[in-house]
Each structure stands twice: as structure tokens, then as C-alpha cells.
Amino acid sequence: MTTYAQPLVTDDHRSSVPGGADRWKLGAGPTLLPHRQLDRSGAPKVSLEEISLSYKTSSGERLLALDQIDLKVSPGEFLCIVGPSGCGKSTLLHLIAGLHHPTSGKVLVDDKVVDSPGTDRILIFQELGLFPWLKVGENVEFGMKMKGLSRAERREKTEYYLRLVHLSQFKGSYTHQLSGGMRQRVALARALATEPDVLLMDEPFAALDAQTRDLLHDELERIWAETGRTIIFVTHNVREAVRLGDRVVLLTFRPGRVKREFQIELPRPRHLEDVTVAQTAGEILGELREEINRSLEVEYHDGVKPHVVPGVEA
């Protein structure tokens, strides 16, 4: 494990906020987000134990998508997973979300085995999966409705989370009337509104323009600091991973294995164009490039079809 040491700001504003309902309230969050020291000594929030996943391709052969992945994520950690396309990083999120089952190994959340979807872990899909037949507010309300919250409670929380992502005035709009960045924020609000401990994000900002993405990075970082969620964030963009993550995990190309972990201890808030971010990203990118080359070799020279995830649209 490589550690990028930086001057630490030891004052941890979040450690002073105890767990429980208060965590979710918009506090007087500091304008400068201090670096927090994660408590890695306690029980991990999410732990993957020797996860392997293989599946049958259309031609009948078994393909190993994920190979013996071992990963522990501390409570409140912002973990980024990077890798070339086809390393199974999206699949990994689906496994944690409980939408698919690993061929072998276990996914544990709070030491309990995950075997089905649950509102303690909410996945934000790459395609978002917003419901076009519902208005923005109803989309945000959906998870709470499934949880059986009362109408009044739902309304109050919908207001709160829409305010959090700056979309209050679009409560009554349909999602197709919004821009890409706004839809992204609706998905974020919808996920946050079910108040999951773990937020799983699958390349959420990949399709956005640079300005919108920068804004959403700031917002996500702020929301993360204010709510104290554990976030597992998948991206193919190394700079984005360094910009956001406490730790960056690099996966190898097919089968996906943990190649290396990088501890990112740059002070927050960070920016994509920070020199330190660029430097760190450069080092990780060096390692990633090997994997990308391998993936290109397989995909272009061997004529192997692009990686297909079972039951997931590419």
C-alpha cells in the first residue's frame, strides 16, 4: 500500500457528530473540509471476502470476471475503484448491492452476509434508472415509500434531499425535462433519501461535460462530508478517483483482481486541476496503463468480444 503523506489537518469535524439521526441533518459544515482520519481499527462497513464471479458466455465457455477480491471498506470511507473497462468493477458494485450473487466468496455489510438488495446499500446506476413515469419528487420519494415511511415523513425528507442537491424547484418536473447533470442529482437525491449507510456509485459522472462534472464533484464531496456515508465509487477516470477518494483501488483487466491500493491523503477540498492530484493520478495511471494495454490487446488483436456482464446492459 502506498501512502501519499500530506500535512494533516487533525481536527475532524465529523468525529464530533455522533451516529444516529443527527448525522443526516445539514449541520454548519465547515467551508474547508478537513482531512479526516479514518478509524480502520474497528469493524469494516463493507468487506468483500475472496469474491470470485464467473459466468457462461454465449459460446458456452466459462469466463472468470472477478478473481479472489478481498477488500475492506471502513465506515465513512470514500473508496474509489478504477480499472480498464472490462475489469468487472461495475459487476462488483452489483454484487455489493445484492443484485447478483458471487460464484464464490462473501459480501459482508456490518458483518452480515448480503444475499439480496437492501436499502442499507443503494446503487446509483451508470444509466441512473430514474423512473420516467414519476415526477422528480416522486422519484426521490420512491425508496422511502418502499420502506413504508409515512406520507408526511416522506414529503419532509423529499424536500430536504431535493434542497441538498439544489433541485427544490424541479420537484414537479418529469425527469426527461431535466439536463444530464440535473438528472444525475435526482439520482443522487433518490439514493440518499433512503438513507443508506453505503452509497454505491457506478461511473455516475462519465457522461457529463467537464463543468457539470466539476460542480457535482464539489457537491458530492460536500454531501459526503455532511452525511458521513460510506461511498464506493467506480470510475475509469483516475484523476476523478484521486480527486474524490480516501483510497483508490486499482483492478486488473479480466479477470478483475486487486492490483494495488493507493492511500490518498491530499487535503480536502481537492480540485481536478490541483498539481498534487495530477501527480498522484499520474503515478496510478502508470500502473493502470499496463492493464489498459492488456485489455486493448485482447479486444483488438484477439477479436474477443467486449466484456459482457450477465444481466447488465453494457
Partner 1 sequence: MKRTARFVIFYAALFGLWTLLAELKIWPPYLFPTPWGVGQSLYAGFEDHSFWIAIAVSMRRVLIGYGISVILGMILGLGVASNKFLEQTMGGLLVSLQSLPSICWWPLALLWFGLSQNAILFVVIMGSLLSVTIAMEDGRKQMPKIYGMAGRNLGARGFPLFWYVLLPASLPYIVSGLKQGWAFAWRSLITAEMLYMSLGLGQVLMMGRDLNDMDAVIAVMLLIIAIGYIVDGLVFKGIERRLQHKWGLVPST
Q: Which of 142, 205, 233, 262 is the binder for partner 1 (CB under 8 A)?
A: 142
Q: Assess 313 for contact with partner 1 (CB under 8 A).
A: yes
Q: Is 11 a residue that touches partner 1 (CB under 8 A)?
A: no
Among 20, 42, 132, 303, binds partner 1 (CB under 8 A): 132
Shortest separation between residue 133's beta carbon and partner 1, angstroms: 4
Query: Taking contact as CB under 8 A, which single stretch among the options 15-23, 25-33, 118-126, 160-168 is the one that binds partner 1?
Result: 118-126
Nearest to 184 by CA among 121, 133, 126, 223: 126
3-state SS, residue 260? strand
CA angle (57 as vertex; 53, 63 as ends), nearest 5: 40
Shortest distance (Å) from residue 312 CB to partner 1: 8
133 binds partner 1 (CB under 8 A): yes
Considering only 17, 38, 99, 309, the residue that binds partner 1 (CB under 8 A) is 99
Q: Which range binds partner 1 by CB under 8 A, 27-35, 51-59, 70-78, 141-149?
A: 141-149
- Residue 310 as a binder of partner 1 (CB under 8 A): the answer is no
Q: Whole-number minimum distance, CB 165 to partner 1, in Å?
A: 17
Of 6-14, 116-124, 231-239, 290-298, the window that binds partner 1 (rule: CB under 8 A) is 116-124
Shortest CB 125 distance to partner 1, Å = 6
Long-range contacts of 204-211, Cβ-Cβ distance < 8 Å, separation of 24 or more: 204/124, 204/126, 204/128, 204/233, 205/235, 205/240, 206/126, 206/235, 206/236, 206/237, 207/180, 208/180, 208/181, 208/184, 209/180, 209/181
Using a 10 angstrom Cβ sphere, with 0-12 exposed, 13-18 middle and 19 or more buried, the burial of residue 213 is buried
The answer to whether residue 118 forms part of the interface with partner 1 (CB under 8 A) is: yes
Does 270 bind partner 1 (CB under 8 A)? Our answer is no
| Spacing of C-alpha 230 from chain mean position | 9
Question: Which residue of 52, 85, 119, 276 would you call a contact of partner 1, by CB under 8 A?
Answer: 119
Count, residues near partner 1 per rule CB under 8 A:
29
Q: Calculate the dihedral angle through the C-alpha atoms of 227, 228, 229, 234, rounding to the nearest 10 degrees.
A: 100
Residues 58 to 97 in contact with partner 1, rule: CB under 8 A: 97
Q: Does 56 bind partner 1 (CB under 8 A)?
A: no
- Per DSSP, 24 falls in state G
- Say how far apart CA 241 and CA 137 lie, in whole Å: 30
| Phi, psi of 248, rounded to the nearest 5 degrees | -120, 125
Q: CB 106 → partner 1: shortest distance, Å?
A: 20
Distance in Å, CB of 97 to partner 1, minimum: 6
Judged by CB under 8 A, the residue of 43, 146, 206, 314 near partner 1 is: 146
Output b/e per residue, 266-293; b: 16+ Cβ within 10 A: bebbbebebeebeebbeebbeebeebbe
Nine-digit cell at 90? Answer: 461495475
Question: Which amino acid is located at 182 in the chain?
Answer: M
Which residues of the shown chain bind partner 1 in the complex (CB under 8 A)? 97, 99, 116-119, 122-123, 125, 127, 129-134, 142-143, 145-147, 174, 176-177, 190, 194, 311-313
